[in-house]
Structure 1
């Protein structure tokens, strides 16, 4: 059995521990966010489509995170100083290797820089350079049982950190829940992101770890994850609970299926003057085989 730790992983773990040692004397999130993640990671950026990256100022301010606020500028304001000290993610359910992961643990996976389109159901879009690792790595480590057909994700429930969770009449039913079919979760494009723009995630962008599924509308890319569960039945997601006639489980980007209140045929690219046509699966045609034979208007 191989017991010697790979030198590359050891160095990555050591660098992260150095940051952790510094953080023990002050707010961990502020210190980590101030460290360019390129000091830890030397992997090349993957941008095979040569996409024009959205300016960081837009991507970190034009955000949806209803746990803070439905108002985008207010959400950014309320997320300032978000404290992710001691963050843990519980991986459980129908798997052979359940485990509770720390953020340090995640840096032992193969961290990459990937540039992805992001398309919001509100009909705007961005291109973001993410930093993270393939969800399939975590799934392979967990070893789902044959009965596991879906992956359920849950956001942190903490009324002291998220104002809308503490509201008398919250906008959504919390905690926020999302899900993927197991084969979708295993697709090489599906990412667990810990950073963007060479820095760790800020509060408003889903610190300290979030899902990124680039061929689906942005609300599927759940933020601030605390639980990942392997389940046999399709999980009921937050937006399905909110309005099942408008938000289906799959939420694949499809310009031919309009939202009941607006068209999805085009999108406003944040930071650019003109709209552009929306592509099926947000331009990621390599996922089409996942939905072969499905009625994409029924399974929206």
Structure 2
């Protein structure tokens, strides 16, 4: 008779050293001829070391230089996360649940050609060849804070265009109250979609949604690149959503369909665990995840090889002046 034993780990996921940083640290110590007892060694920031070691494994796909502008409004004085970390430590459950799985397995995904369909409550439905469309757009570099629900954050220079520009071109009707998004569904390549075990129990394809006013907000970006280049596969190539005042799972990757709707659309994590992941997913330090606090965060890629000290979580991820008016009069603990 099989016996199920429940194991409760001593550490929560957000307290564990990121796998790429752990691997890099071991390689560096071994190269210096040091044992594990050298863990207390004081080392410099090491961003170039991280980039050199992690970039080989992390930059799957992408890498084509892009021409872009740098609007002053989107260039905050924040230390950027090292590119090797940002492309090696991320969530993309279509390729597995471990943070290193996307960089390890996403290389098989073919992103050329890539079609994006805009439909639903619009006057002018459109089907775009993303790569041809990209060449006609004026791309902007926007340095945004990126906050994950597991209480870690990054600062990433995204390249893209305001989502509003694409939606306006399609002509939303008066009935368009929400915008729904859908990720590519290709279980033959996206290993997480081929198995509930590998994909964390998600019912694919991955879907997300915003209110129309959130989607049309100037901060909401349809990103096609990062760090001056096209997106790597593991970061959502060739086109993804970036909504900087919301938790990262709202930033749906590898989008193939955008549909404007009158009713609130379903969203993947809300369907999977509604008590943990609300539709809005605004960064709010007073609303804890049921399994850990959201009051503080750790900045991944800062403070050298051994991480940074925890810092207080900012309401709306620090973008309150720009977006708080969208939620005036709403109970942000109820509509989490």
Band of TM-score, shorter chain: 0.7 to 0.9
The offset of 1:168, in angstroms, is 5.4
Which residue in the other structure is 1:127 paired with?
A: 155
Q: Distance in 2 between matches of 1:258 and 1:215?
A: 16
1:164 maps to 2:183? no
1:109 touches 1:137 (CA, 8 Å); kept in 2? no
Q: Give CA-to-partner distance per residue, 1:199-247, whole Å, 9 cap, x none.
A: 1001110000000000000000000000000000001100011001111
Which residue in the other structure is 2:240 paired with?
A: 210
Which residue in the other structure is 2:7 paired with?
A: none
1:54 touches 1:127 (CA, 8 Å); kept in 2? yes
Q: Which runs of 5+ in 1 are unaligned?
A: 1-29
Runs of 4 or more above 3 Å deviation: 45-48
1:153 touches 1:178 (CA, 8 Å); kept in 2? yes
1:55 to 1:92, Cα distance in 2 relative to 1, 3 A: same
Which residue in the other structure is 2:91 paired with?
A: 64
The offset of 1:31, in angstroms, is 11
1:264 to 1:154, Cα distance in 2 relative to 1, 3 A: same
Which residue in the other structure is 2:310 paired with?
A: 275
Q: Give CA-to-partner distance per residue, 1:43-94, whole Å, 9 cap, x none.
A: 2254442121111011000110000010122221101243111100010000
Which residue in the other structure is 2:143 paired with?
A: 115
The secondary structure found in structure 1 opposite 2:280 is coil
Q: Give CA-to-partner distance per residue, 1:120-177, whole Å, 9 cap, x none.
A: 0000000000000000000110111000100000000111220011115542110000
1:136 maps to 2:161? no
Q: Which region of structure 1 is more displaced relative to structure 2, 156-165 or 187-196?
A: 156-165
The secondary structure found in structure 2 opposite 1:236 is coil
1:242 maps to 2:272? yes
Aligned length: 268
- Out of 181, 184, 194, which is 2:211 matched to? 181
User: Taking structure 2 as the reference length, what is the TM-score of the superposition?
Assistant: 0.77
Which residue in the other structure is 2:128 paired with?
A: 101
1:192 touches 1:212 (CA, 8 Å); kept in 2? yes
Which residue in the other structure is 1:149 paired with?
A: 177
The secondary structure found in structure 2 opposite 1:107 is helix
Query: Highest CA radius of gyration, 1 or 2?
Result: 2
- Out of 18, 24, 33, which is 2:62 matched to? 33
The secondary structure found in structure 2 opposite 1:80 is helix
Which residue in the other structure is 1:289 paired with?
A: 325
Which residue in the other structure is 1:27 paired with?
A: none
Q: Which runs of 5+ in 2 are unaligned?
A: 1-58, 303-307
